[in-house]
Amino acid sequence: MFTLSLDTPAVGAARLRLTGHLDDAAARDVLHAAADVVRCGCSRLVVDLKGLDSFDHDAAYCVTGCCRLSRFLTEGVSVVGGSAAGDALAETAGVVPHTAGAHRPGALAGTVVSCPAC
């Protein structure tokens, strides 16, 4: 079972928390929610993968898609791992999960995640 929740950890920021099993249908829901965050004018998106138990490898596109939205958010996108499945999903999507104090040389202003699709 998959659950997607949205909260606001800071002013102008939105956090999508993914829990359970991520499949293709759930991945589409994540992308729709991320697009809504951009349309609502948030400046930052956090994709929290800590609650994931498992995922279908073909659903990893949702993480890449969320990262691509960083060009529309002034403070960028953070992908937060923290579970075995969450870290594996980030790796499958080709992104580096955010860790406190990490900075990626050559990153676009405001982004804290590398995305090979951008």
Question: How much is the pTM?
Answer: 0.80
> What pLDDT does 111 receive?
35
Domain range for residue 80? Answer: 2-93
33 has pLDDT over 70: yes
CATH value at residue 58 = 3.30.750.24
Residue 59 lies in a domain: yes
**CB atoms < 10 A from the CB of 75, how many?**
18
Residue 116 lies in a domain: no
Residue 107 lies in a domain: no
3-state secondary structure of 109: coil
Written as six digits, the tokens of 56 are 């279908």
Residue 77 lies in a domain: yes
> What pLDDT does 103 receive?
41
Phi, psi angle pair for 98, to nearest 5°: -70, 135
The number of folded domains in the chain is: 1
Contact 76, 112 (CB under 8 A): yes
